[in-house]
Amino acid sequence: MSDFNAKVIAEFRGNEGKVGGYFANNTLLLLHTIGAKSGKPRTNPVVTYEDGGRLVIVASKGGAPTHPDWYYNILANPEVEVEFGSEKFRAKAAIASEPERSRLYQGMADRLDAFKEYREKAGRVIPVVTLTRLG
């Protein structure tokens, strides 16, 4: 895990989901996945918002031309664990299809301008993932 992610995760856990710096004033979750290749547990801080009882995350990787590793982990193992605020729960991850994907992506872009830039520079269709609580 990168030093950047480790610092964000520690701050998230120390402040019931609130972080400063680059992610200040945004809602984050910690996404726990199982590595698609390694089978090892992975944790990533991801910007989120709520839509109809689900959490929405975007596989933008900062506008990179490739998907983030956590996206491939979800494809291989869609049952994940989520830390959201002070809660921790199991969830089912699902890849949104059109036209819902575009609607949900725009919802993220409306909340955080950087996602408008990511859409332009990625050179790919950026997947949107919904997380639905289990149990």
Q: What average pLDDT does the structure give for the chain? A: 95
What pLDDT, on a 0 to 100 scale, did the predictor assign at position 135? Answer: 83
What pLDDT, on a 0 to 100 scale, did the predictor assign at position 2? Answer: 76
For 69-86, write each residue's pLDDT tens digit: 999 999 999 999 999 999
For 88-115, write each residue's pLDDT tens digit: 999 999 999 999 999 999 999 999 999 9
* Percent of residues, the chain, with pLDDT higher than 90: 88
Query: What is the enclosing helix (H) or strand (E) of 67?
Result: none
Residue 21: pLDDT band with limits 50, 70, 90: confident
Q: How far apart are CA 16 and CA 35, in angstroms?
A: 26
For 34-47, write each residue's pLDDT tens digit: 999 999 999 999 99
- Which carries the bigger pLDDT value, residue 25 or residue 117? 117
The CATH number covering residue 122 comes to 2.30.110.10
What pLDDT, on a 0 to 100 scale, did the predictor assign at position 127? Answer: 98
What pLDDT, on a 0 to 100 scale, did the predictor assign at position 31? Answer: 98
Q: How far apart are CA 6 and CA 4, in angstroms?
A: 5
Helix axes 100-111, 114-121, angle to 10 degrees: 130
Residue 101 phi, psi (nearest 5): -55, -45
Tell me what the mean pLDDT of segment 15-40 comes to. 92
pLDDT at residue 22 greater than cutoff 60: yes
Contact 98/125 with Cβ under 8 angstroms? Answer: no
Contact 132/100 with Cβ under 8 angstroms? Answer: no
Identity of the residue numbered 44: N
Domain that holds residue 44: 3-133
Strand partners for 58: 128
Residue 16 neighbours by CB distance under 10 Å: 10
Counting the structural domains of the chain, the total is: 1
CB within 8 Å of 102: residues ≥ 6 apart = none
Please state the pTM of the whole predicted model: 0.93
Q: How far apart are CA 93 and CA 21, in angstroms?
A: 28
